[in-house]
Amino acid sequence: MSLLKIYKNNIILVFNKTVLLINDVENICEFKLPENTPTESGKPKKYFSDSEDDENEDEKNKTTKPSETDVKIVNLDICEKNDLIAFTTNDKSLYLCKISAENTLEILSRRKLSRTSSCCRFSSSGEFLLLSDKGGDCYSFNTIDVKAPGKWILGHMSQVLDILIDDDEKYVITCDRDEKIRVTNFPNSHEIATFCLGHTEFVSAVEFLPQNKEILISISGDMKLKFWKFIDGKCIHSVDLKLPATKFCIHKINETESLIAILSYEPQTIFIYRIGNSSETIKSTFIQEITLDSNQFATSFVFGSNFDLHILFVDKNENKLELIKYKNENLSSFSRVEDDPLISHVKKVYFKSVDANYVDNVSTLFKKKFENIKDYHERKKIRMEEKNN
């Protein structure tokens, strides 16, 4: 997995076991996950599980666990307030690191997970991290007591695809493969506040509208971009997209407007909108679409401080990692920068020997359609024709 994030005025670029903190050509700090990092004792227990069950599962999964050399970062989040970065790996580990003033990383802890994570998100206070695994269970990890195992807070019957918590830390919002957006009280997470229902395919991502965090944004495989008054579970605006949506990023312009970029699935296209709001009224204005080549699979994208759009993708034909930049033109259009010195330097120095394999994690999320009745009628028709003859 390769990822992009913005940290203050830096771009954080992640691929395999490497983390780059990029300010400019002269200021790039590289960090690689060291092998054999000690793991804290204890791990989060799934609800209604006991330690013996967990130990048995550990023994069962030993043969499938990747070696230290094959470990890759799969998820990432940043807490600017406390200068923390958390990333999870495919060997079921959670790393918590401190970012220094010199942009170096110090590992504070490595904690065990019950399953491979699907998403993670810091709270606004930075005092804990929310994490969901691929089994639908969600946990809270303390970032003050950095060695404490995670605590189970809630669960879904299907895979959770995104998770976040409001600034007041009263509600945990989760979305899953089964069309649902769930709003759960926190810390009393046994109480469900409401659901935001209306999507008809997997809900791939959620985020708050930057200029009004009482409004929730969601995208889905049903080709819809929706805006919700999430506390009431009410959809207040919907945008029809041309293709199923898998990821998005959003950047605040001012107190009433934001830019949003939405990635579609097959063909890989990024749709850019300008989002304005007044009270509970949402206005969405289409700006531009950027279509990638058929061999390019976007893994992550972010708006920089100047609203320039950076796109990280895998070249499926050559198994190479590529980074491109689209320059913002007065917030009305974006044009590709063909020869950016920083991007050229990153590609030459850091991407040259990277083996980046393309993995399709989206196709399996769609509902499966079975044509059993059609096959039955075809067979019946053949039997009737044979009988009549």
Q: Within 10 Å of residue 355's Cβ, how many Cβ atoms?
A: 9
CATH class name, domain 2-38+70-387:
mainly beta
pLDDT band at residue 120 under the 50/70/90 scheme: very high
Buried b (16+ CB within 10 A) or exposed e, 286-317: ebbebebeeebbbbbbbbbeebbbbbbbbebe
pLDDT band at residue 52 under the 50/70/90 scheme: very low
pLDDT band at residue 358 under the 50/70/90 scheme: confident
Global pTM?
0.88
Taking 90 as the threshold, does the pLDDT of residue 54 lie above it? Answer: no
The residues facing 271 across adjacent strands are: 262, 289
pLDDT digits (tens, 9 = 90+) for 172-223: 999 999 999 999 999 999 999 999 999 999 999 999 999 999 999 999 999 9
The average pLDDT across 309-325 equals 93
CA–CA gap between residue 385 and residue 373 (Å, rounded): 18
The residues facing 251 across adjacent strands are: 259
Region of 198 (left: φ > 0; alpha: ψ -120 to 50; beta: rest) is left
CA–CA gap between residue 288 and residue 274 (Å, rounded): 10
Residues 122, 211, 100: CA angle, nearest 5 degrees: 35
Return phi, psi of residue 157, to 5°: -80, -10
